[in-house]
Homo-oligomer: A and B are copies of this chain.
Amino acid sequence: MQAVGVNCLGVLDTFSSLDTIFIPKNRMKRPRKGYISFVTQSGALGLALLDLLATENYGFSKFVSYGNGTNVDEADYLEFLKDDENTKVICVYIEAVKDGKKFMKIASEVAKKKPVIIIKGGKTEKGAQAALSHTGSLAGSQEIYSSVFKQCKLIEVNTLREMFNLAKLFEKLELMNLKPKGKKIQIITNGGGYGILTADSVSENNLELPEISINLKKELKKKLAPIVTVKNPLDLTGIAKDSDYKFVLENCIKEKDIDILLTIVLPQTPLISENIVNLFSEINNQKKKPLVVISTGGDFTKFIKNRMEDQNIPVFEFPGDAVKAIKRMVDYYNKN
């Protein structure tokens, strides 16, 4: 992978240890090896995000900031990443497409092979004026861009946060070769309020919360404490132990009427131990259904989160972030 564009702030390849970013490491942390690749027309944006996401345990494969792309453009980079086995999902920040026909041809081919998430700078008139000063880009009509992206089956997002939440979800699922069969979600939680907000978010995003089947209910009631109401969301309450999660997940993963296991773990309560990582990992390694975790908290929580992510379980900080990412992911696999 060669970066030859003028105004190109750098290339990073964590697999070959190539690093042409001229920023000292005490200013910008380099991310660990991973399977997200990121192509950006804006250098500073790319570097700031790599720096942030490196501290959040994100792994990246290739990064390239190509600026005004004098002789290699966004489509060329996409084409390269299409066949890169270390790239499972591609993120793109773009202000304008250089050659529309070429872009459409290549982008559609790439999108057939792996998810491509794209954010467009200069969607509004004011933003477009700024893009003209920045990379000399004629940002063009947002309607046209959005319909081109849609036609090519690229996943357009509105915010950077949304982009990288979704990238994490795709990276883990693609690595595990896990695709949900549908949009039926079972919520399992040890915090009532979090379960409720997650249920609200699931409904608002037109995903489904199926009732727990009679047989599953019977099975779960055998071992769970009487305080637990066996419903969806399933609130294990603050007395939940690691083994309760294991028991519930093992039963739910066999259930026909559940496509995705959305599990909230608030590890503040002392009955949750770090062994929960191993238990979740065993479930995830069965590769039967996507297992997504929501976990909010400080140092201990982040320790658990990072270890789960190292086992290819995607973990999110807030219910809204997790559900929004799941929604886009379900729509993507539904169409592909």
Contacts and interface: CB of A to CB of B under 8 A. Distances in A.
A106 interface: no
Interface in A174-197: 190-197
Given A192-B44, A203-B127, A321-B161, A301 B52 contact: yes
Interface residues of A, number: 79
A209 interface: yes
23 contacts: A23-B270, A24-B270, A27-B268, A27-B269, A42-B191, A43-B193, A45-B192, A54-B298, A93-B193, A121-B193, A122-B200, A123-B200, A124-B199, A126-B200, A127-B199, A127-B200, A133-B192, A133-B235, A134-B195, A134-B235, A159-B319, A160-B320, A161-B321
Copies of this polypeptide in the complex: 2
Nearest to A295: B48
B297 A28 contact: yes
B48 A191 contact: yes
Contact of A298 (B9, B55, B196, B298): B55
Interface string A304-329: 00000000000001111100000000
A238 B320 CA distance: 34
A64 interface: no
Interface in A232-264: 232-233, 235, 238
